[in-house]
Amino acid sequence: MKLAFTRRLRAALLVGALSIASLMVWSGMQNKDSTLEIRASRQGGSIPDGFYVWHHLDANGIRFKSITPLNNTLLVTFDSSAQSEAAKEVLNRTLPQGYVIAQQDGDKDALAWLSILRPDHNHLG
C-alpha cells in the first residue's frame, strides 16, 4: 500500500514539474518585444538625442518601453512589431538625413540559443 502511494506521489511531482517547466517556456516565448536600432550612417557620426526621439514618438501617439544608448546606437524598445513599424515610419520622416533605422525582433535571443544548440559542422579545429 505504501509503495503504491510513493509511486503516485513521484508521478504527481514529475507531472507538476513538467507542467511548471512548460508554463515557463511558454511564457518566455510570448514576449514579442520589438526594437528599433538607430545609428549614424557614417563612421564617427553621433546618435540622435533620446529626448528628440521621445518627443516625436510621443507627439505621434506611439508608446514605447525604453530608449537606451548602447555602443554608438540608440535602441528603442516597443511592446509589438506594429508599434515598431509605426515608429520607424515617423522617425524616417522626422530624423535628419544620415541615420539608419533597423528593426530587430524579440525572437533574437531565441535564435541565438538555437544557433548554439544546433549542430554545426563548419567549425575548424
Please, what's the b/e burial string for 75-114 (b: 16 or more CB within 10 A of its CB; e: otherwise)? Answer: bbbbeebebbebbbebbeeebeeebebeeeebeeeeeeee
Please give the pLDDT value at position 64: 92
Please give the pLDDT value at position 121: 47
Please give the pLDDT value at position 11: 83
Report how far residue 106's alpha carbon sits from residue 34's, in angstroms, rounded to the nearest whole number. 5
Could you state, in chain order, the average pLDDT of each consecutive group of 10 residues for the chain (125 residues)? Answer: 79 82 65 85 87 94 93 92 92 90 67 50 44
> 3-state SS string over 8-39?
HHHHHHHHHHHHHHHHHHHHHHCCCCEEEEEE
Please give the pLDDT value at position 67: 93
Please give the pLDDT value at position 31: 54
CA distances from 105 to 47, 55, 89 (A): 21, 23, 16
Find out whether 94 and 56 touch, Cβ atoms under 8 Å: yes
